[in-house]
Amino acid sequence: MRVLICGGGGFVGSHLAKKLYEDGHFVRVVDIKYDNYLKDRYYSQKAVLDLRILSNCYEAVMGVDHVYNLAANMGGIGYITAVNAEVMRDNVLINTNMLEAARIAGIKRYFYSSSACVYNVYKQTTPDAPALKESDDIPAAPNEMYGWEKLFTEQMAMAYEKDYGLPVRIARFHNIYGRGTYEGGREKAPAALCRKVAKAKNQDVLEIWGDGTATRSFCYIDDCVRGVIKLMESDYNKPINIGSDRLVTIDALADIIIGISGKKLTKTYLPAMPEGVKGRNADLTLVKQVLGWEPVVPLEVGLAETYKWIDKMVNGPD
């Protein structure tokens, strides 16, 4: 198979490309910039292209069978609550252009990476909020502009399948973590906490955004990649959750990471900082039925791997 990974310089895109490349596929990666966290070669071809420009999208899809579109202007809760117009503009341009280029090129299958941010905010108001089913996106009321853009693009992708026969696959990611962005403002909570703990000395104070009671579920990158590939191989063409259904508080997440580090730290809370919705968990009923997929990497194991890598990035090798 000849595949294109848009966003192949980023976190999920690079790990997905690595798996497909190791499985023997021709893998073209395209991005506007590359994090270069993966040191081993993970692609057949590499290009630097701005996918907000339609002609670049035509160039990207030339000669491939499948497209995995993970390209996006995105980041952690601090970023997506502070940057609104730029996020929506850039992502709508990328996704509109890529769908049109895929249509013109006759792409055999098209994957779009959506987000749990599409879900109705009023279903996520308490730490013990019920796990989110795929049908909980309607009536529409995402918490951030990022979520509105994701929901719009899901509908556009399905319209391209309905009107033009472009086969689409859509995954709603729930807090994917692992070896990826850990500083600069675009990192997610697990990476941010790993970085803070790695930098801390014994008896230091660890700052936690919010009051620590907000809840999330977290899915390790290896599980995510496996789920994406199973979805792409399937005949299911509606949005589906890829995540974990183990709900933990941000406070408990911090405790796990502190425990992994072996340090003795005290915690302080910054309730004025953004924390997003109060509770978000993934209902995995549909994905288990349709794909036979569920996460298998325990949170403690995935966090240990993530912390070990971030500690090395922050402090250097032992």
42, 146, 160, 220: the catalytic one is 146
Per residue of the chain (318 residues), give pLDDT as tens: 999 999 999 999 999 999 999 999 999 999 999 999 998 999 999 999 999 999 999 999 999 999 999 999 988 888 888 999 999 999 999 999 999 999 999 999 999 999 999 999 999 999 999 999 999 999 999 999 999 999 999 999 999 999 999 999 999 999 999 999 998 888 999 999 999 999 999 889 999 999 999 999 999 999 999 999 999 999 999 999 999 999 999 999 999 999 999 999 999 999 999 999 999 999 999 999 999 999 999 999 999 999 999 999 999 987
Task: Give the residue from 101, 106, 137 showing the smallest Cα distance to 122.
Answer: 137
Identity of the amino acid at 199? K
Count of C-beta atoms within a 10 Å radius of residue 162 = 11
> What is the Cβ-side half-sphere exposure of residue 181, based on CA atoms within 13 angstroms?
21
Query: Can you give the pLDDT at residue 111?
Result: 98
User: What per-residue confidence (pLDDT) applies to 77?
Assistant: 85
On the 0-12 / 13-18 / 19+ scale of CB atoms within 10 A, 2 is: middle
* Cα angle 216-271-129, degrees, rounded to a multiple of 5: 30
Q: Which residues 6+ apart lie within 8 Å of 318 measured at CB?
A: none
CB distance 227 to 293 below 8 Å: yes
State how far the Cα of 186 lies from the Cα of 183, in Å rounded to an integer: 7
Looking at residue 261, what is its pLDDT?
Answer: 97
- Class in CATH terms, 179-217+246-281+297-315: alpha beta
Domain spanning 2-176+218-242, CATH architecture = 3-Layer(aba) Sandwich (3.40)
pTM confidence score: 0.96
Question: Any idea where the domains of the chain sit in the sequence?
Answer: 2-176+218-242, 179-217+246-281+297-315
Tell me whether the CATH fold assigned to 2-176+218-242 matches the one assigned to 179-217+246-281+297-315: no
**What's the pLDDT score for residue 267?**
96
Q: What is the pLDDT of residues 161-185, one digit of tens each?
A: 999 999 999 999 999 999 999 988 8
Residue 41 sits at φ, ψ, to 5 deg, of -65, 135
Of 233, 232, 101, the C-alpha closest to 164 is 101
Query: In the annotation, is 146 catalytic?
Result: yes
pLDDT tens string 101-148: 999 999 999 999 999 999 999 999 999 999 999 999 999 999 999 999
